[in-house]
Amino acid sequence: MALGKEAMETGFNIAKDVSAGQSIKSAAKRNVKKAGKRLATKTVKGIKNKMTSARNQGGGASLLLMSILKGPWVEYHPVSNITDSAPIEFNVAGTAEEYVDLSQTMLAVTAKITNPDNTNLAQEAPVGPVNLFLPSLFSQVDVMLNEKLVSQPSNTYPYRAMLESIMHYGKETKDSQLTQQLYYKDAAGKMDLLNPLLAGENVNEGLKKRHEFIVDSKVLSMLGPIYGDLFFQERLLLPGVDLKLKLNRSKDAFCLLSSNAEGNYKVKILSAALYVRRVKTNPSVMLNHAKMLEKANAKYPLNKVDVRSFTIPAGNMSFNKDNLFLGHLPNRIVVGFVDNDAYNGTYGKNPYNFKNLLLNYVGVTVDGESIPMKPLRPNFREGPGQDFIHAYNSLFMGSNRLFQDKGIDINREEYARGYTLFAFDLTPDLSDGCHLNLVKQGNLRLELQFDNPLPNTVNCLVYSESQGLIQIDRSRNVVYDYQG
């Protein structure tokens, strides 16, 4: 198209020069040469435009910085003194010339476990932390940008952290990086063996290992990420945006395990610090972004995570949850079950003991259609008829790991003994939400059936991942569209 227009213009210019007295040969030579230069210039501009468009995926101001000058971590302390029950809050004020790399944010906490009267534990005290102790200390974490809440108000923060750690990381990471958060895997089938002082077959080896860090009220240091949507995306936060965090404490009975139910042991947080990476860029980058913000907002596509919980009363042999998601559908869900008293917090039960409950039917339907295949029909009864291979395989089908060299550190024997989770990828191309999909509408229904009446009330936890979006305009107004 451009070539045709250029030819027409060149012919017109030749005729014009000839009418002005030039020879046809010289007029043609001069104008063809000019046309070639114009075409070359247009081609280069076209390539540059495409490169810019690629960098600006998402439609807003580009946050892919090619000219980072420095990026030190800055330490922030809570805005007030730490107490046993009050939230821990951090304020990170935006500056005029620095971006913030939220994906590199680190939370550091030192704590110790004491008796109810704040005295140190006796050496024989049968108490230890739950697994993934650092995020388990907080029931809810609120994130605000310029006073705008950009996180989900839910008290299931520990379960988000645990389910993401189980589903996203393999053994190598769990045995190294996650130990900074005191992740030491609970022994399958032994999750409610709560005396860490025992040995052999009578002890949960994970609890015993975690107990070693807190015996005699030793000070325990931990470090890990903030499990929030905004902190798991790589685009830099614009200068001039204030960040606030509010970490609400969990019950001591939730994050501690003990065979002495009357122990009433306490977690005493001694210090907390937030390490935030501030990024200084070439001034030309900031100027370019300012110009782009005149035309469009900065956009931050998010993997929006939500963990919902609902109770299933004792005595039920079946349970249907209609309208679990109505309207916008998630990309993926993970379903698990824990005892209600463990969910609410009790020293005598492990809150991360995901039980199989002798489930014999797990169905997920969208507008009446079974997704992604026919319902699961596991048989968890021990004996010659035991068969839950398709339920176990859902972990890999639902997490984009099927037939790939990626593991989640749950073997088939462990699966039925405290690690029973059901994962469902709801994306049409099985992308696991790794790229943007068209937002689907529908009614998602969960159907459950059990071999026996439930002996006690349980909580069904549904972890979901959806597309979300945060936008920031030139005036630093924040718009949070969690549906994407």
What is the Cα–Cα distance from 395 to 306, expressed in whole angstroms? 18
Amino acid identity for residue 170 in this structure:
G
Q: Where are the domains of the chain?
A: 68-296, 302-469
CA distance linking residue 234 with residue 22, whole number of Å: 61
Count CA within 13 A, CB hemisphere, residue 333. 23
> pLDDT exceeding 70 applies to what percent of the chain?
84
Across the chain, what does the average pLDDT equal? Answer: 88
Mean pLDDT of the 85-92 span: 96
354 CB burial (10 A radius; 0-12, 13-18, 19+): buried
Dist. CA 145–CA 437, nearest whole Å: 26
Mean pLDDT along residues 119-131: 96
CA dihedral 200, 205, 209, 215 (to 10 degrees): -60
Q: How far apart are CA 24 and CA 3, in angstroms?
A: 22
How high is the pLDDT of residue 2? 45
Q: Per DSSP, what are the bridge partners of residue 114?
A: 120, 266
User: What mean pLDDT comes out for the span 209-235?
Assistant: 97
Position 5 scores a pLDDT of: 46
Looking at domain 302-469, its CATH architecture is Distorted Sandwich (2.70)
Lowest mean pLDDT among 9-23, 133-147, 241-255, 292-306: 9-23
Same fold, 68-296 and 302-469: yes
The CATH number of the domain covering residues in 68-296: 2.70.9.10
Q: Give residue 354's pLDDT band: very low, low, confident or very high (50, 70, 90).
A: very high
